[in-house]
Structure 1
């Protein structure tokens, strides 16, 4: 066996360490402290990257794109970013057969309280958090994100990606936070999100386009619910084969939600919500709106919503909320099947339009 080699470069803290192992030719690199970021480019050929208490400078992305096939990235301790008004992202990951893990007790802290101003995208320029673009046959597991300045996960152009036991906690932004979406998904296929816990002030999940997407065993608190859309006005406006199941939505503006843009075209097909528990919903328990972005205008029929299934969606809405609101275009909603719907409290809508056969508002 070759001699064991250990290399350490230290700038104030151990910034990068690498270990070469004879049997697998595997390389382990650790980035930590305030100096670690400057050595980020040195880890491109590492297959085992550890981010340990890293302090990322203001206005910089923790760039983990184009990683070596089969790389594992593990977050330890608290990863933080300096403050600057910019668009982000704070983290960017791409590659094939990539494993992103959060060690017990670790957190990625976005210090959102420095940006929150109750204006979301219209106020201070706020960085998006975690960009997963062109990530395939990969997994993100055990990551805990706290105090996101704005949107958290942007999943775009990904295939065969699983996110498990991810926690997003921006509870501190309940007064001033806005546009803090948990998972935004577009142009992706075979995406599975398991046992997520999301505490935020916007969509828990928003699926803008994509196929074969599953959200299972999740908890959504404080935001706008489990959403498909908004659909329309993008290069890809098709959603197909989506399942939300065995999940709870609490203290949120909406529960189940499909939103399509006024005057746009697209398709929403084979979307299923089953075994969804609602609690203290403040606006709509079940909401389908085909005039999104044009409040007060008649819904348009350019986005077709077909094979929309609800099964065992139960729970309560606030006394001022509406249990079910369906605002369909004249020819756009068809082949819906709703069974086991039991939403209590609040009021019945008198403004539902063009309900498909068998659906009661």
Structure 2
């Protein structure tokens, strides 16, 4: 005859909750199973019973291994990546963060060698997210494994963009120290209503030649911040040591870049134009910054035979020193392999303001160079602009009165 019984209390040793195994225990009268942590169901049989406990391991939000990152992104609002080493061909992907999530890089983040120009080691996207570095943390791109003096123009395949960032809706990325990235640094793509601040990109190790760079700086094409297709971005309080553009803005509007230090770079740049519609840049401010030991100081470059516009750009309160080629450079004959020497007029460049700009270039440099297409430049203003030191004649075909500054020679 079947006999019913009730188990009023069962005491389970605590260590059972951490094994992740199926545990069975013979009893005299009941069947009891746990299908999730903290859940118990009871059934009875006539003469014997068993306890079957199935446990699940909690998702770690404090990650110490690359394999833990994906489940943490799916489950956690606060994630710490502590001393993560990503295996070869394995990116740190943070593109499906929960709205409002926080990610903190702690310790040293590193990446195994990946021989591919399509590889993007670090990918970030999210709404109203916080991306931050803990005090003393380092993100190391392993640049010396790739550097050959050619960058993305040839040689050894290397990650074309070290970090891709697409943060929106009051997101912030801050307090990151990044060093030795292989080629292009941070691709700020499609950022909306967000702030990037207190970022250090230190590629100074790449200034020196290595055994395969043939006397050239080992690192090349190491743009720090490539800003594109972004609206309402504040980029501030950053320091850069690199071998290409410090900050370059393209196809964006309402971008402010302030309190930036640039060394070894190609300067604070606008890159305008492209093929087809949509290559427009407007309302860009560069202010309260320093550019030193660099190829150019302040630059607007528009592609040869391109279309688009660059309007409402302000450079203010900027100090230049030890500039190697041009203090202020506006040219409409830009090509990646070198200028064409023929300025095209498909990109409108207008309402460009320079105020409180001072500093010096090396003797072999030119203080100013402005080379506009026929009728494509307008409304340039220079207020308290004084760049000196270049013995190479400044050349400006716009405005009509020629270049600003003490060493003026019009280029016609």
Report the TM-score, using the length of structure 2 for normalisation. Answer: 0.78
Q: Residue by residue, what CA displacement relative to the aligned partner does 1:283-324 show, whole Å, maximum 9, x if unpaired? A: 100000100016243201111111100001100101111100
Q: 2:48: which partner in 1?
A: none
Contact 2:304 2:332 in 1 (8 A): yes
Contact 1:335 1:356 in 2 (8 A): no
Q: 1:115: which partner in 2?
A: 146
Residue 38 of structure 1 is aligned with which of 67, 71, 82?
67
The answer to whether residue 294 in structure 2 is matched with residue 262 in structure 1 is no
- Distance across 2 between alignment mates of 1:299 and 1:235: 20
Contact 1:336 1:357 in 2 (8 A): no
- Distance across 1 between alignment mates of 2:223 and 2:288: 20
Q: Could you tell me how far 1:357 is from its partner in structure 2?
A: 5.9
Report the TM-score, using the length of structure 1 for normalisation. Answer: 0.89
Contact 2:60 2:68 in 1 (8 A): no
Q: 2:288: which partner in 1?
A: 246
Aligned length: 337
Contact 1:310 1:338 in 2 (8 A): yes
Q: Could you tell me how far 1:133 is from its partner in structure 2?
A: 2.4
Q: Residue by residue, what CA displacement relative to the aligned partner does 1:152-184 show, whole Å, maximum 9, x if unpaired? A: 110111101211110000001112101110100
Q: 2:237: which partner in 1?
A: 195
Q: 1:206: which partner in 2?
A: 248
Contact 1:99 1:139 in 2 (8 A): yes
Q: Could you tell me how far 1:347 is from its partner in structure 2?
A: 2.5
Q: Is there any run of 5+ residues in structure 2 with no aligned partner, and where?
A: 1-13, 20-58, 208-216
Residues 216/301 of structure 1: CA separation in 2 closer, same or farther (3 Å cut): same
Contact 1:255 1:286 in 2 (8 A): yes
Q: Could you tell me how far 1:54 is from its partner in structure 2?
A: 0.3
Q: Could you tell me how far 1:41 is from its partner in structure 2?
A: 1.9
- Distance across 2 between alignment mates of 1:202 and 1:259: 14
Secondary structure in structure 1 of the residue aligned to 2:341: coil
Q: 1:161: which partner in 2?
A: 194
Secondary structure in structure 1 of the residue aligned to 2:254: strand
- Distance across 1 between alignment mates of 2:277 and 2:345: 18
Note the 1:178-189 alignment, pairs <5 A: 178-189=220-231
The answer to whether residue 183 in structure 2 is matched with residue 144 in structure 1 is no
Q: Could you tell me how far 1:40 is from its partner in structure 2?
A: 2.0
Q: 1:67: which partner in 2?
A: 97
Q: 1:24: which partner in 2?
A: none
Note the 1:230-309 alignment, pairs <5 A: 230-233=272-275, 236-293=278-335, 295-309=339-353
Q: 2:364: which partner in 1?
A: 320
Q: Give the stretch that moved more between structures: 97-106 or 229-238.
A: 229-238
- Distance across 2 between alignment mates of 1:314 and 1:268: 23
- Distance across 1 between alignment mates of 2:85 and 2:314: 42
Is the radius of gyration larger for structure 1 or structure 2? 2
Q: 1:176: which partner in 2?
A: 218
- Distance across 2 between alignment mates of 1:305 and 1:264: 12
Q: Residue by residue, what CA displacement relative to the aligned partner does 1:71-113 show, whole Å, maximum 9, x if unpaired? A: 0000010000000111221111111011001111001000101
Contact 1:334 1:357 in 2 (8 A): no
Secondary structure in structure 2 of the residue aligned to 1:148: coil
The answer to whether residue 108 in structure 2 is matched with residue 78 in structure 1 is yes
- Distance across 1 between alignment mates of 2:330 and 2:402: 16
The answer to whether residue 382 in structure 2 is matched with residue 338 in structure 1 is yes
Q: 1:103: which partner in 2?
A: 134
Q: Is there any run of 5+ residues in structure 1 with no aligned partner, and where?
A: 10-26
- Distance across 1 between alignment mates of 2:357 and 2:391: 17
Q: CA RMSD in A?
A: 2.0
Q: 2:22: which partner in 1?
A: none
Q: 1:12: which partner in 2?
A: none
- Distance across 2 between alignment mates of 1:354 and 1:170: 36
Residue 131 of structure 1 is aligned with which of 164, 189, 193?
164
Q: Give the stretch that moved more between structures: 349-358 or 56-65.
A: 349-358
Residues 53/350 of structure 1: CA separation in 2 closer, same or farther (3 Å cut): closer
Contact 1:131 1:155 in 2 (8 A): yes
Q: Could you tell me how far 1:28 is from its partner in structure 2?
A: 6.9
Q: Could you tell me how far 1:350 is from its partner in structure 2?
A: 5.4
Q: Residue by residue, what CA displacement relative to the aligned partner does 1:309-357 show, whole Å, maximum 9, x if unpaired? A: 0001100101111100001011111011111111010135354324356
